[in-house]
Structure 1
């Protein structure tokens, strides 16, 4: 079964509208059902009837993209978490992190979604004007190739770049050898029929990463940010592993660091359930699209 259901969240802010537009583009591309949900940390007083506004947006998107769009009457975090159980892809904007800066990484909507969602989560940060052209995949944590397949399944026409971050804890020389070794092994893998535009890169390609590694001050997240800015990739793909509330409170996740603050990325981010998640085993690809294996 290919992607059949995409759920998109909105609070009618500018960034949330970008998420709806991207979800509609993807739904039209995959021939999927699009479902809209109203989700806001604080309800805006100017939207006295959010459900009526949601239904209006559903009609607009249906006409514009010629697809089936449904506006769900449920709202709030509980409805969002329930929607992830039936969705093949959840699309939301990066602003929905919480009301307060520090605990938002643990108690905000995105954090709650990632702790419960069995489906990939696409966080939209840029206006959806065209299909994705360049997907940057964090290949260092993609031993089984699930992230590469996810990038291809989402947008088969995009160039997929497998980026290998350097492990600085073992020293620059060893990190260099490991990165180039992985890159060589990736180049020797048999070509995938659906992957016509594939490139491999590492942390030593961008000058800012080379300088940072020489000084010993760049971890994998910062290397990803530098590479994304250097290549102008419009989609970043990485795995996430479910974390508990306490861990999110004590330490920011890679996803949170990439999506917040001046040192984050400006492109969209696709978060795929990682190998440590049982839900990840349900995902495979068929004909350029995601599929869920029958349980």
Structure 2
């Protein structure tokens, strides 16, 4: 446990997917102040080579932690945490990091058919971290890894008012549905925080009912456990929840979305 400090809870994502975690965290911790960081300058992370992305994240957090001095950090991004979580904790050991990893363990515990799918970005699918989770918790299951190159961007477009067709979404999620020896996939792990924004669309497109496992509540619960009885950063009219983008090139519809979540949009960090 890092040294207790006052300060906001920092929620970090490559884009707007972490808003699903922010929503749950506010419900569980209404007395806390939040700063939401969207690394839109680097979005999408799946296009980055691993070594370059790791170096980028370490350099970015060097600045963010110095500027914001948060009570704890929630990495609301599977791709970022599975790649950089251990390095961030080692480099910034005075800070508590709450990570986001594919919810493979609870899926393996809940499945009745033994067929689960993990819907993720290609980067999360290929990560050794993800395969280790399967080897540790889901050896009794058939776990299908489905890497979608486009769903995170589609979710951003959809939640900010853009049109996303059923055909395009179905092409991305169809591999999740497996029939084998009279059994069917019964759980799909949403292993990217962007994907819950599309969950209702997924339910309508699914060829049979499945449990779409959203990790946002579990992440928020872990943040609350980490914070424990630490004093909250006082909230006032001039000290409200912020959204900070790493690039000032923010589309108006994204800025409006942030405001709809009750966030004051600040200038781009480092811009």
TM-score normalised according to structure 2 size: 0.31
Choose between structure 1 and 2: higher strand proportion. 1
TM-score by length of 1: 0.29
